[in-house]
Every structure is written in C-alpha cells, then in structure tokens.
Amino acid sequence: MKIIVCGAGAVGRSIVSYLVKGNNDIVVIDNNPKRLEDLAQEFEVLPILGSASHPSVLEKADAKKTQLLIAATDNDEVNLTACNVAHSLFEVPRKIARLNSSEFLNPLWANLYKDEHIPVDLIISPEEEIGKYIYSMLKIPGSSEVRTLLNNRLYLVAFKIPEKSPFVKVPLLNLTQVDESLEVEIVCINRKNNIFIPYKNDVIEAKDEIYALIPAEKINATMSAFGAENSAIERVVVFGGNEVSKCIAGLCEQDDNIISCKIIEEDYEKAMQIAKSLDNTVVLQGQMMSDKILSEAGIYNADVSVAVTLKDEDNILSSMLSKKCGVKNNISLVNSPFYNNLVDIVDENILVDRTSVTISKILCELRCPEVKKAFSLGRGFAEIWEVPVAEGSRLVGKTIKSLDLPASSKVCAISREDEIIFPSELEEIQNGDILVFYVFSAGIKKLENIFD
C-alpha cells in the first residue's frame, strides 16, 4: 500500500514505525528538515520537505497513486487542509486527520467531516486515546495492558503472575481444577521477553506476563484468583502537563472513586493553561524531581504515578523515583523502541508504548475489510482482531481447525448471540458469529488470506 504520512513529529514517527513493518510504500512530509533527516535515517521512507497542505508538495509525494493519507502534523488546520487537497485534487480514497482542538472534536460539528464539506474518513486524537488508555489501566489495578472487545463484554488484560500465585506450575489445562469458577482464555505469555502462544499442557511460571481474555463481569474475581490484584486507585500523581495528562485528569475528576489527581509541570505557561482547563485537579509548577514539589504532590501517599512528558528519559526517571518514594503502581509513556530493551531495568514499572496506542485507532484502515476492530499489543509484537462472520462467508460451517491458520495465530473467542465461547479447534463457525483472532505480526498477511 502506498501511504503518505504528514508530520514527522512524535505522532507521525510512531505511525511510521508501525507502518514500516508491513509491505507499505511510505512517504513522509514535514517542513522541519531535521525531523525528516532523523526519520529517514531510522526508517526506509521517502522524505519530502514542505507543508503537507500545499498542493505542489502533495503532488511531489505522488498523491495521485496514494491509497491512504494520514495527516498527523501538530496543526489541526494543516491536517484538515491536507485531507481536503488530497481529496479534491488527487482523489486519494482514504484520509485520516489528527485533531487535538476540542473545537474540532466537538460532536456537535461531526457533520463537518463529509466529502461535501471537509473529506475526512477517520479522525484520530492520539493524546486523547493515550489518556483514555492509561485511565482504563487505572481502573484495573495490577494490569499492564487493557483492551476492550465485543462492545465491552470481553476484556484483554495483561498482568504479571506473582510468585505466590496458586496457578504457578499449573498447566493451562488444569486451571479450573484450582478455581472451578475461573472463566479465562490465556492468549499469550511473555516469559523473560520470549512471547509465545501457549499449548494446553504449558504451565504458568512466576513472573510470567500473561495476556488473558476475561468476560467483563469476571475481571476482579479473575485478577484476585491469580493473586494479581492491587488496591483500588484513589490518589493519582501525573508528571507532565499536556493533552494526555489533561485527558487523564478530566476522567479522574468524573470518577467518584478517585480522591485526588495532581499534575506536576515545569513550564509555567503550560501549568497555568492546563490548570484553567480543569476543575478539581491541583496543578503544581516546578521541577519534577524536586523533593518539595514531590511532597506537595503527595507522592508518598499516592497509589499510582503516571509520567507522560514528551521525553522518554524523564518519564522513566520519574517512575523510578516514584517507586523509591513507595508508589506501587508506576506508568511511563515511551516513544522510542529503544526502551523495549530496558524491561529488566525498569523492573515493575509499566511502559505504555505511544506507537501501539496510536496505531490501534487506524489499524482497520490497514487490514482486510473483514476486520472491524483491531488493536496492537505490547510494543507491536502482535494484534487482536474482531471479525464478524457475515451471511455467505466462506468460513461458515468450517471448524477452527480446518481454517489452516498460521502457527502464529489462533481464534481465541467467539461471540455467538449473547454468549462468549472460548472454543476448541473442533468448534464449528456459524453465521453471525464474531471471531476474536490473536496474531503475531509475522503472521498478519497469511491470516488475512483466509478471508479471500
């Protein structure tokens, strides 16, 4: 697929880092030569210097032959104009625009984004998506990743197995012998950075990070059964004053179970601006590593620290400092894949990958039409899909075993009417089913072929 990405900043870079894993021809447009040079040195892309909203620049990027344009600059107006120009002059079939302003995101103006007005097929707000994602993790203490499926009826939750868990050394086949009320499907296991799809005879080890599908009403009981639950989050400290922290704080303000949310921001103007946009959040302006500021933020009594500055190093250091102050749950937003190699150093701190969260919003644009919902997992090692089985589909009547799935994938769950099934290989697919697939990145193209 030929794709134009407008913007080589943090968001554009995160999108490009995922797109290059596929068989895509990628052009990146930016008016900052240093950003372009850095991106072109790291990834195999064609850099174009100039404004993404200028017709001559899009023409130079060969927009006429482009299937997808992703306008992800830091400027909403430029992104909307780029989509308009791409549609009107170059007939680009699919356009995605990154928008941050609440004015443009207000549902009242949703009618604006149509071909006859401003032709945008999909709007993404990465900062808002990241904020919502981190908040979802706060609601399931002990989780390192959370995704919702099947209209929020099924959750994919990642968590570490404590050494004293009753399931340590227990084969997956025998999980219900330990707890007969257990209703869970182990999708994959991360064991010392070796990620694999387990067989029923595989055993769970202490410190495994497991990715489990759990019915919504069973989450608390399941986390408790595995010994992975933590106390409810009531006091939140956020490092960094930006759109991400504003989203997190706004959601915390609406949550009756959260007593306080405090934001630390070093820049005076940013601190003042975010303070004006929130009602019940305390915004502290000062050095994030200052003992005085940390004490004012209540770090020693906090249940969780969330570091979402634009600098990965600051986020990692803030989380490590919070842990030393006694905070049990520490979350760091990271942009660079370099930090994939530092899992042992950051220890129990949870790394949230900006790329994975951002790309999940647009994955359906990159996958075959049958995929109606998709998420990138971890730091991009795999994806999970929802695929409705339409009437007349070639899958109807087949068993899961007969689908000839790649070894790096599996059907993890089936939604059938009001029931969620964790199927065996002999389960027969019926009309109207919704299949939940798990697939490693290397098996994506082969898995898509089963729908042809």
The CA angle 239-240-246, to the nearest 5 degrees, is 105
Question: What pLDDT band is residue 344 in, cutting at 50, 70 and 90?
Answer: very low
Amino acid at 343: V
Give the residue carrying structure tokens 């012998």: 177
Task: Please tell me the distance from the alpha carbon of residue 191 to that of residue 343, in angstroms, as a whole number.
Answer: 12
Looking at residue 440, what is its pLDDT? Answer: 93
Question: What pLDDT band is residue 351 in, cutting at 50, 70 and 90?
Answer: confident
Cα-based distances in Å from 282 to 246, 270, 278: 11, 14, 9
Looking at residue 342, what is its pLDDT? Answer: 53
Q: What is the mean pLDDT of residues 293-311?
A: 95
Q: Please tell me the least confidently modeled range out of 228-232, 248-252, 266-270, 334-338.
A: 334-338
CB-side neighbour CA atoms (13 Å) of 329: 29
Looking at residue 365, what is its pLDDT? Answer: 85
Q: What is the mean pLDDT of residues 421-432?
A: 95
Provide, rounded to the nearest whole percent, the portion of the chain with pLDDT above 70. 97
Looking at residue 251, what is its pLDDT? Answer: 97
CB 191 within 8 A of CB 129: no
Question: What pLDDT band is residue 338 in, cutting at 50, 70 and 90?
Answer: low
Question: What pLDDT band is residue 227 in, cutting at 50, 70 and 90?
Answer: very high
Task: Please tell me the distance from the alpha carbon of residue 151 to that of residue 1, in angstroms, as a whole number.
Answer: 30
| Rounded CA Rg of the chain | 23
Task: Please tell me the distance from the alpha carbon of residue 210 to that of residue 251, in angstroms, as a whole number.
Answer: 27
Looking at residue 197, what is its pLDDT? Answer: 96
Looking at residue 398, what is its pLDDT? Answer: 94
Dump pLDDT digits (tens) for 7-22: 998 889 889 988 888 7
Looking at residue 345, what is its pLDDT? Answer: 45
Task: Please tell me the distance from the alpha carbon of residue 160 to that of residue 197, in angstroms, as a whole number.
Answer: 16
Cα-based distances in Å from 133 to 123, 127, 138, 240, 290: 17, 10, 9, 17, 28
How confident is the prediction for the chain on average, in pLDDT? 91
CB-side neighbour CA atoms (13 Å) of 94: 13
Strand 235-239, strand 260-265: pairing:
parallel
pTM: 0.88
Strand (E) or helix (H) holding 134: helix 126-138
Dump pLDDT digits (tens) for 22-47: 778 999 999 999 999 999 999 999 99
Task: Please tell me the distance from the alpha carbon of residue 428 to that of residue 389, in angstroms, as a whole number.
Answer: 12
Q: Please tell me the least confidently modeled range out of 138-142, 216-220, 353-357.
A: 353-357
> How far apart are the two ends of the chain, measured CA to CA in Å?
17
Q: What is the mean pLDDT of residues 215-224?
A: 95
Question: What pLDDT band is residue 340 in, cutting at 50, 70 and 90?
Answer: low
Q: Which domains does the chain have, with CATH numbers?
A: 2-124 (3.40.50.720), 142-226 (3.30.70.1450), 235-358 (3.40.50.720), 362-449 (3.30.70.1450)
